[in-house]
A and B are shown apart, each in its own frame.
Chain A
Amino acid sequence: MSPGLEVSLRAQGQIPLEMDLRCAPGEILALIGPSGSGKTTLLRALAGLYTQVSGQIRCQGRTWLDSQQGLCLKPEQRWVGMVFQQYALFPHLTALQNLTLAMSHLPRQAREPAALAWLERVNLAGLHNRLSSQLSGGQRQRVALARALASKPDLLLLDEPFSAVDQVTRFRLRRELALLRKQIDIPMLLVTHDLDEALQLADRICVLHHGQQLQCADPISLMQHPASPDVARLLGLQNIFSASVVAVGREGLSLDWAGCPIKVSQPSEYAIGDQVTWIAPPQSILLQRPDRPVPGDSENPIAGSITELVLMGPHASVRVLPNHAPELPLSFFIPLHYVERQQLHEGMPVTLSLKAHSLHVF
């Protein structure tokens, strides 16, 4: 039996699930998806808190659930550490007592020193006697994380752990988790609706929708090669279009996009005449002024005009209508300094260059 987490779960009814997952020791697997996609239900099923599921769960060599054998361990038998969205600290206990309560695997006299050491590891030394109502949001989150790890779990479950704190604290906590995870050698599942959080922390990301996993991949592969238009849309990617294949060669495909030729450097099994969906991810688009062309950046040139330019902090959201198909706008972000240097404005004619090796055909 391999170490790590192996999950094969099915559930019918109100919250359907169809999941086959693996997570290696020390790996963070992020589960992302819209509300109702089954993220939290999966986490609760793994913890043994939701039992209307069938299938198998094995973790670190132990079987937690085997429906065929009629085996279903109770939550307290699974050795799971879980950080809840609102932390779920025991409000009548101090930070220290919250941890010692979860340390039943240690002899009674060893619990307090170990709990104090954990609080120190999460930068809460000196706050051990405070109740959760006397702690800030970030401090509560740290207590919750320390409590989850103090139980010496075989699996760490993080259910939107940073959603209840302000942005500054969130960035700080993410960094702390990224540092702490190097010392953790158990599988970790992170549920989040924040794609940036998943991209920053996870080794792999699993996109869920209606209780099914659509794609599991490392962050770069996922963003550059989403498995389907649905995955691309769930990842918030824009510029998804239809086209027909007009040529297939060793260097890739040639597409006809509403009368405009598009070259894609992607080996594929497509044939001439196939209708395909293609996507221009943010990193594939270069914007140029026709009167200031950049030598060498002229792949897949598309002439158009800026129809919308919205300044959003250090970036600008740009929408360009191609001349050949104004009904198919391309949207993307560019740095504010580029807008200022190039003196871009709404109505200005521009040329987009789509890098062939960054385009993706489904």
Chain B
Amino acid sequence: MDWQALQISLKLAFWTSVLLFPLGIFVGRALAVRQLPFRPLIQSLIFLPLVLPPTVLGYYFLVAIAPDAALGAGWQWLTGRQLAFTFEGLLLVSLVANLPFAIQPVQNSFAAIDPDVRDAARVCGLNFWQALWRVELPLAWPGLLSAFLLTFTHTLGEFGVVLMVGGNLEGETRTLSIAIYDEVQALNMTAAGQMSLLLLTLAFVSLLLVQWKTQRYSDKGHL
């Protein structure tokens, strides 16, 4: 077991999930509730990472963070470091790659709330933020949980985009899925098997948790 790779994977998954969580709430709610101009365009851009080969996303990201590109130059000016083959670069591309997982479940949850319930909250004297906190977020809770866990689990298993943008630098960008690949290449099937089993268990438990929580919420009549 490559404990360092596991640590980097967990760190990447944690920060990706935490940073995308509030973004998922506000973009997901806006897409579900508001009459946005260019909605199909926004929705397509968000879903693009789901259908795009990770290598293509990785390639365009590498182009964008090159030292002579705006994003790469800006980052270098701010931090004195380049983004390619660093944990920060990995995190940034991971945020983009996981947008659909962070937004879609939240969007579905907000869309499932009866519009009259939303209106009733305002008529009952709650302002927008109070209505969001006391009524909408508790009702959208299964979607929020799904988004967090799916983002976390998907990031743990991310391979193509990680390899393209992060490379395979031990202690910096070498994640568990890359480590598995390395072990298979070295015909060390026992280590690859242990790490694969860990990822499989984490993914399965996450999905089970999502299904269980959603079912419980539905049984209580909240959905």
Contacts and interface: CB of A to CB of B under 8 A. Distances in A.
B181 to A, nearest CB: 45
B124 A85 contact: no
A184 interface: no
B125 A104 contact: yes
A88 B116 contact: yes
B125 A88 contact: no
B121 interface: yes
B66 interface: no
Interface in A41-65: 44, 47-49
Interface in B86-131: 114, 116-117, 119-127
Contact of B134 (A44, A81, A101): A101
A331 interface: no
B119 A151 contact: no
A121 interface: no
Nearest to B115: A88
Interface stretch (A18-26, A128-136, A277-285): A128-136
B222 A91 contact: yes
A88 B127 CA distance: 17
Interface stretch (A72-80, A244-252, A296-304, A340-348): A72-80
Nearest to B217: A92
B105 to A, nearest CB: 18
B120 A74 contact: no
B127 A131 contact: no
Contacts of B138: 92
B122 A88 contact: no
A75 B123 contact: yes
A171 interface: no
Contact of B123 (A47, A86, A134): A47
Given A101-B134, A102-B125, A151-B125, A75 B119 contact: yes
A102 B221 CA distance: 21
B221 A85 contact: no
Contacts of A81: 123
Contact of A88 (B117, B220, B221): B117
A84 B125 contact: no
Interface in B195-223: 220-222
B116 A92 contact: no
B214 to A, nearest CB: 14
Residue with the highest number of chain A CB atoms closer than 10 Å, among B114, B116, B117, B124: B124
Interface in A66-112: 74-76, 79-82, 84-86, 88-92, 101-102, 104-105
B122 to A, nearest CB: 4
A263 interface: no
A92 B138 CA distance: 7
Contact of B221 (A47, A86, A132): A132
Contacts of B123: 47, 49, 75-76, 80-82
A85 B120 CA distance: 11
Q: Is the interface of B mostly helix, strand, loop or mixed?
A: helix
Contacts of B120: 82, 84, 88-90
B119 A134 contact: no
B139 interface: yes
A16 B134 CA distance: 34
A76 B126 contact: yes
A230 to B, nearest CB: 31
A204 interface: no
B119 A84 contact: yes
A54 B77 CA distance: 52
A91 B139 contact: yes
Contacts of B121: 90, 101
Nearest to A49: B119
B135 interface: yes
B202 to A, nearest CB: 29
Contact of B114 (A82, A88, A151): A88
B198 to A, nearest CB: 35
A355 interface: no
A147 interface: yes
Nearest to B219: A133
A101 B124 contact: yes
Contacts of A91: 117, 139, 221-222
A133 B119 contact: no
Nearest to A81: B123
B121 to A, nearest CB: 7
A247 B199 CA distance: 97
Contact of A133 (B125, B139, B220): B220
A86 B116 contact: yes
Interface string B166-209: 00000000000000000000000000000000000000000000
13 contacts: A49-B119, A75-B119, A75-B123, A76-B125, A84-B116, A88-B120, A91-B117, A91-B139, A92-B222, A101-B121, A101-B126, A101-B134, A131-B221
Interface pairs A-B: 8 shortest CB-CB: A133-B221, A102-B124, A88-B116, A88-B120, A75-B122, A84-B116, A82-B123, A104-B125
Given A92-B222, A101-B135, 19 more contacts: A76-B122, A76-B124, A76-B125, A76-B126, A81-B123, A82-B119, A85-B116, A86-B116, A88-B119, A91-B117, A91-B139, A91-B222, A92-B220, A101-B121, A102-B124, A104-B125, A105-B125, A131-B220, A151-B124
